[in-house]
């Protein structure tokens, strides 16, 4: 069996309350198909009892053992050592975007407080359906696969720059509720989700889709929330305005008019506030032309739009139909 | 001092379901859990939850199947109550938000499960436990129930009058030890699968609640009855749902033969779990296995059905065993899975220890008797979580808070100090020694020499435990210490299992002896009760009659499938 080096970030709080951190290497002989969790357990049992990490079910359903494994957040219990080792080294660190408590353990409090913020439960109300058919949960099923492990939250690029963002898991949960026929407050929820730091703060980088171990596709849930929110008339925020401006430009010109896009997104006052940036861009010759550019074949594009409006497709599933489970 | 009317220990399905009843009753209820509620092992239940919701089915038929499945040692009043309440319990979960799989027309879908005479197992694909757990957690958040998260209970405390007074809690996050007083305590801490070396359970399933109750003076019942699940993955023991056989999966041996026709000609793969596990073990022992495994063959179901109905199972087989069930059979073996025994309670979840209640796998109500039917454990948690929650909530309204003896706090702190100073073997090594012995001597088949050997080893294991060492000396998130503490609980439970098994001179349900291969209703149709003898530091046994209803259809008969 090959010998792997596990380069593990050790974290501890000093008596002065300061977080100290360093990497320590552990060697272990295991097969390439051993899970990282089993390897960690072996290291803790046979080499170092102070090595600390969370774990419970061993079968990718409880969500305890999310950690940074060779740069990406994954569940240790379903990750094979051989798949993540680089030159025989597996690098382990705690999840990002959350305060570290010790070694690979983070404080899950802030993550859950954000999930609580979207009111993660069905509510009674006027929009509640009282009968269900076989397809009632077609939209809900894939989001209920979420185990709240926090992988998406840890890898979210928006959270790196905006601590207020509610995060992909909370929004996937919000979609789980909004898309449930039994939910009675769909419109009120979509209104709340249109507030700052909620669904419009996602940059759609798709990192959450990549890192989700349960194939929940949070970003696609976010896109669907936005579509539903706009359909309910919540179009006053910068996110929705931006999307509408994009939509109008593409439909009309087949290309963006970036010169006026900012003003249409954040309004005239907002655009004035960005004059400094504009000056900076101007100096570098990066200010786009104020005159709209009409793309070639825009008529064809309009026909595509027309076709899509007549026959809407489900963005979440790409090509495959949702399988009712 | 922190105090509540009702203190629930454990935040799985039973604990959370009970807490919601506390909220409804208007009492102050709190939950203490050593892991976040969503990490609870209830989430790993895959296949489904039984209820007679189809008009062609009946609650009586469900009760009969359960009495028979339990091999006539389940308490019939409790079984009737559970099957009676099952449909409403499911519909409640449905209303709270569980996305059960549906049929055309919107009815809840049901699949066949082992030992059942009707297709009565409701499900949500192959992650029924997970969606139920998330549903109850949603309601818990909605109700604003206080949860002491990542807090382990180190002692169940009684007042001098013998009534429960609360619990001593160890906060894993900070190392703080503090009392939580309560007028009643409800144990919903689940099972003890980790006591066996090969098991389907989470690492956190260490039977803490049972051991705490035992040490506080509450009796445990039927601890020798341990369910070995027929389909644990060979390498890790991780569970493959019975739903895989419910959907039509075959069991084959190394020669490719469907061997169940020899052991259960009518029900084949869907015989009761004890029957299937023994059949597999026999095949393996007689040389028709491969590397200690037989195989679960799903290939004939086709890719589409596997992907639709068993997507999680397929992924687990790929992740943990390197086998894609669409193309290859999955190597499996019988693996310790569920504890039929637990804290002895009446059908309302009350234990003989005043102020102590229990529900779910931690309890022995007893609805599962000597062998639990698949799909009845989730049901047990939902139904008895609710009933016990209701009764405990009414009970605390009649009680005053007993004084909390501070000496208990001091003792626990002293014990932690002793553990941290230990100079002996480390806990993982000692656990391995104990759990391997238990697997060997108290497994699917049990012989008298083996069981005696296990009982003989116990004093030595306890001695070794007195010196157990903990490398991590820190206060914050000291999992090394937690593991050492849990090992103490597991040792107590191992003793209950081994002594109970050695004493029971018959074969019944999951307890299968080579020297007494038959059931003996004359002498052994009764519950084994384990007590902690604090003076001698050993477990002692007594016996209790099964609560029967005298119905002719519940008279014991030969159990064939």
- Domain spanning B230-334, CATH architecture: Alpha-Beta Complex (3.90)
Pick B130's closest partner by Cβ from A58, A61, A64: A61
Long-range contacts of A104-110 (CB under 8 A, 24+ apart): A104/A8, A104/A9, A104/A11, A104/A52, A104/A53, A104/A54, A104/A67, A105/A52, A105/A53, A105/A54, A105/B477, A108/A150, A108/B36
In the Cβ-directed half-sphere of A161, how many Cα atoms lie within 13 Å? 5
Which residues are within 8 A (CB) of B496 and not within 5 positions of it... i.e. 6 or more apart? B214, B220, B223, B224, B341, B530, B539
DSSP state of B264: -
> For residue B428, which of B397, B463, B398, B465 has the smallest C-alpha distance?
B465
Interchain proximity A144–B103, CB inside 8 Å: no
Asked whether residue A324 carries a pLDDT value surpassing 80, the answer given is no
How far, in whole angstroms, is CA A68 from its chain's centroid?
Answer: 16
Interchain proximity A182–B426, CB inside 8 Å: no
Q: What is the pLDDT of residue A323?
A: 36
Window 39-68 of A: residues touching B by CB (8 A cutoff) are: 44-46, 48-50, 52-64
Pick A56's closest partner by Cβ from B95, B204, B238: B204
List pLDDT tens digits, range A155-206.
999 999 999 999 999 999 999 999 999 999 999 999 999 999 999 999 999 9
Q: What is the pLDDT of residue B418?
A: 96
CA distance A11 to A93: 9
Percentage with pLDDT > 90 across chain A: 68
Q: What is the pLDDT of residue B308?
A: 85
Q: What is the pLDDT of residue A314?
A: 66
Both tokens assigned to B496: 């209950």
Mean pLDDT, chain A, rounded, equals 91
Q: What is the pLDDT of residue A319?
A: 33
State the residue for tokens 């439970």.
B493
Q: CA-nearest residue of chain B to A128?
A: B95
Residue range(s) occupied by CATH 3.90.700.10 in chain B: 230-334
Interchain proximity A136–B474, CB inside 8 Å: no
H or E segment and range at residue B470: none
Angle between helices A109-117 and A168-178 (to 10 degrees): 30
Pick B38's closest partner by Cβ from A48, A131, A148: A148
Q: How confident is the model at residue A130 (pLDDT cuts 50, 70, 90)?
A: confident
Most A CBs within 10 A among B109, B130, B310, B316, hence the mutation to make, goes to B130
pTM for the model stands at 0.94
Strand-pairing partners, residue A75, are A66
Min Cα–Cα distance to chain B from A325, Å: 5
Q: What is the pLDDT of residue A315?
A: 57
Asked whether residue A108 carries a pLDDT value surpassing 70, the answer given is yes
CA angle (B94, B98, B99) in 5-degree steps: 105
H or E segment and range at residue B367: none
Contacts of B474 in chain A (CB under 8 A): 12, 50, 102
Most B CBs within 10 A among A121, A146, A180, A189, hence the mutation to make, goes to A121
In the Cβ-directed half-sphere of B443, how many Cα atoms lie within 13 Å? 20
Q: CA-nearest residue of chain B to A57?
A: B202
**pLDDT beneath 70, residues of chain B:** none
With beta carbons less than 8 A apart as the criterion, state whether B8 and B169 touch: no
Phi, psi for A189 (deg, rounded to 5): -65, -45
Percentage with pLDDT > 70 across chain A: 96
CA distance A85 to A171: 32
With beta carbons less than 8 A apart as the criterion, state whether A134 and B106 touch: yes
Both tokens assigned to B152: 């382990």
Interchain proximity A61–B44, CB inside 8 Å: yes
Q: For chain A, list the domains and their CATH numbers.
A: 3-106 (3.10.20.30), 109-234 (1.10.1060.10), 251-310 (no CATH)
Q: What is the pLDDT of residue A302?
A: 86
The class level of CATH for B422-531 reads mainly alpha
List pLDDT tens digits, range A74-88.
999 999 999 999 999
State the first-to-last Cα distance of chain B, in angstroms, to the nearest integer: 56
Residue range(s) occupied by CATH 1.20.58.100 in chain B: 422-531
Contacts of A17 in chain B (CB under 8 A): none
Least confident of A33-42, A313-322, B247-256, B516-525: A313-322
Secondary structure of residue B54 in the 3-state scheme: coil
Min Cα–Cα distance to chain B from A288, Å: 49
For residue A26, CA distances in Å to A23, A48, A51, B234, B473 come to: 10, 9, 11, 28, 20
Q: CA-nearest residue of chain B to A117?
A: B141
Pick A325's closest partner by Cβ from B39, B101, B106: B101
Which residues are within 8 A (CB) of B515 and not within 5 positions of it... i.e. 6 or more apart? B447, B448, B505
Q: CA-nearest residue of chain A to B427?
A: A45
Q: CA-nearest residue of chain B to A75?
A: B319
DSSP B276-345: HHHHHHHHHHTT-SBTTBEEEE-GGGHHHHHHHH-HHHHHHIIIIIS--TTTSPEEEEEEEEEES-EEE-
Give catalytic status of residue B111 as yes or no.
no
Pick B477's closest partner by Cβ from A57, A105, A134: A105
Min Cα–Cα distance to chain B from A290, Å: 51
Both tokens assigned to B340: 């039929």
Most A CBs within 10 A among B40, B94, B123, B134, hence the mutation to make, goes to B134
Mark A167-191 as b/e (b = at least 16 C-beta within 10 Å). Answer: bbbbbbbbbbbbbbbbbbbbbebbe
Contacts of B35 in chain A (CB under 8 A): 54, 56, 62, 64
Q: Does A137 touch chain B (CB under 8 A)?
A: yes
Strand B146-149 vs strand B29-33: parallel, antiparallel, or unpaired?
A: parallel
Interchain proximity A59–B316, CB inside 8 Å: yes
CA distance A262 to B242: 57
Contacts of B97 in chain A (CB under 8 A): 121-122, 180, 182
Contacts of A101 in chain B (CB under 8 A): 173, 476-477
Instruction: Choose the catalytic residue: B111, B120, B155, B273.
Output: B273
Contacts of A62 in chain B (CB under 8 A): 35, 38-41, 43-44, 202
With beta carbons less than 8 A apart as the criterion, state whether B484 and B427 touch: yes
Contacts of A46 in chain B (CB under 8 A): 428
Residue A275, judged by CB atoms within 10 A of its CB (0-12, 13-18, 19+), counts as exposed
Min Cα–Cα distance to chain B from A250, Å: 39
Q: Could you give the ipTM of this predicted complex?
A: 0.93
Q: CA-nearest residue of chain B to A54?
A: B479
Min Cα–Cα distance to chain A from B99, Å: 7
């Amino acid at each position: 069996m090959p010998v792997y080096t596990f380069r593990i970030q050790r974290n501890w709080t000093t008596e002065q309350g300061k977080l100290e951190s360093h990497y320590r290497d552990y060697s272990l002989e295991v097969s390439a198909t051993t899970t990282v969790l089993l390897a960690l357990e072996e290291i803790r049992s046979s080499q170092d009892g102070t090595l600390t990490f969370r774990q419970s079910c061993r079968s990718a359903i409880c969500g305890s053992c999310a950690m940074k494994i060779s740069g990406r957040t994954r569940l240790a219990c379903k990750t094979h050592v051989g798949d993540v080792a680089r030159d025989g080294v597996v690098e382990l660190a705690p999840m990002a975007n959350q305060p570290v408590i010790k070694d690979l353990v983070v404080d899950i409090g802030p993550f859950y407080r954000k999930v609580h913020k979207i009111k993660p439960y069905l509510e009674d109300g006027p929009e509640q359906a009282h009968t269900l058919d076989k397809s009632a949960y077609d939209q809900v099923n894939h989001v209920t696969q979420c185990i709240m492990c926090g992988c998406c939250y840890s890898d979210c690029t928006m959270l790196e720059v905006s601590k207020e963002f509610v995060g992909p898991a909370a929004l996937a949960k919000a979609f789980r509720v909004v898309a449930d026929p039994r939910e009675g407050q769909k419109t009120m929820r979509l209104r709340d989700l249109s507030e700052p730091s909620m669904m419009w703060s996602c940059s759609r980088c798709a990192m959450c889709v990549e890192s989700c171990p349960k194939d929940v596709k949070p970003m696609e849930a976010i896109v669907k929330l936005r579509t539903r929110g706009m359909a309910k008339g919540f179009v006053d925020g910068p996110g929705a305005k931006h999307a509408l401006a994009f939509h109008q430009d593409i439909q009309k010109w087949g290309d963006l008019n970036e010169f006026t896009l900012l003003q249409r997104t954040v309004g005239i006052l907002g655009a004035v506030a960005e004059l400094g940036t504009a000056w900076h861009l101007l100096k570098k010759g990066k200010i786009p032309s104020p005159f709209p550019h009409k793309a070639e074949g825009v008529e064809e594009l309009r026909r595509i739009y027309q076709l899509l409006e007549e026959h809407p497709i489900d963005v979440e599933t790409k090509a495959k139909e949702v399988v009712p489970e | 001092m922190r105090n509540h009317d009702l203190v629930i220990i454990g935040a799985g399905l039973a604990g959370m379901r009970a807490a919601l009843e506390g909220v409804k009753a208007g009492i102050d209820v709190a939950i203490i859990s050593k892991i976040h509620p969503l990490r609870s092992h209830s989430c790993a239940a895959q296949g489904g939850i039984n209820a007679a919701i189809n008009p062609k089915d009946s609650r009586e038929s469900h009760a009969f199947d359960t009495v028979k499945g339990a091999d006539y040692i389940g308490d019939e009043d409790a079984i009737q109550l559970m099957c009676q309440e099952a449909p409403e319990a499911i519909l409640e979960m449905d209303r709270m938000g569980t996305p059960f799989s549906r049929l055309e027309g919107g009815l809840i879908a049901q699949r066949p499960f082992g030992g059942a005479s009707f297709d009565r197992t409701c499900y949500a694909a192959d992650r029924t436990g997970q969606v139920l757990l998330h549903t109850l957690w949603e309601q818990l958040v909605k109700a604003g129930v206080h949860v002491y998260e990542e807090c382990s209970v180190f002692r169940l405390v009684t007042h001098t009058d013998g009534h429960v007074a609360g619990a001593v809690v160890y906060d894993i996050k900070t190392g703080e030890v503090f009392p939580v007083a309560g007028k009643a305590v409800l144990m919903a801490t689940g099972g003890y699968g980790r006591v066996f070396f090969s098991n389907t359970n989470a690492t956190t399933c260490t039977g803490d609640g049972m051991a705490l109750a035992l040490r506080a003076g509450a009796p445990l019942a039927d601890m020798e009855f341990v369910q070995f699940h027929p389909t644990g993955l060979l390498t890790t023991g991780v569970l493959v749902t019975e739903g895989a056989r419910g959907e039509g999966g075959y069991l084959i041996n190394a020669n490719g033969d469907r061997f169940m026709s020899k052991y259960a000609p009518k029900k084949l793969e869907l015989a009761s779990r004890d029957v299937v596990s023994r059949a597999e073990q026999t095949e393996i022992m007689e040389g028709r296995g491969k590397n200690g495994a037989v195989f679960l063959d799903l290939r004939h179901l086709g890719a589409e059905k596997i992907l639709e109905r068993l997507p999680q199972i397929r992924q687990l087989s790929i992740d943990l065993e390197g086998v894609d069930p669409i193309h290859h059979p999955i190597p499996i073996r019988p693996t310790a899975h569920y504890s039929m025994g637990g804290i002895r309670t009446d059908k309302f979840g009350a234990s003989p220890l005043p102020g102590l209640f229990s529900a779910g796998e931690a309890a022995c109500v007893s609805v599962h008797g000597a062998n639990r039917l698949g799909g009845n454990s989730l049901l047990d948690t939902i139904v008895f979580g609710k009933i016990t929650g209701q009764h405990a909530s009414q009970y605390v309204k009649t009680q005053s808070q007993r004084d909390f003896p501070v000496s208990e706090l001091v003792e626990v702190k002293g014990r932690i100090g002793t553990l941290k100073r230990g100079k002996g073997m480390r806990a993982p090594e000692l656990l391995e020694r104990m759990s391997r012995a238990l697997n060997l001597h108290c497994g699917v088949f049990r012989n008298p020499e083996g069981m005696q050997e296990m009982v003989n080893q116990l004093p030595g294991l306890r001695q070794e435990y007195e010196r157990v060492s903990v490398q991590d000396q820190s206060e914050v998130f000291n999992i090394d210490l937690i593991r050492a503490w849990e090992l103490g609980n597991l040792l107590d439970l191992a003793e209950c299992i081994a002594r109970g098994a050695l004493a029971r001179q018959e074969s019944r349900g999951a307890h299968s002896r080579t020297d007494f291969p038959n059931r003996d209703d004359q002498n052994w149709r009764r519950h084994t009760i384990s007590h902690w003898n604090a003076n001698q530091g050993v477990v002692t046994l007594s016996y209790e009659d099964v609560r029967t209803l005298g119905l002719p259809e519940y008279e014991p008969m030969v159990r064939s499938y």
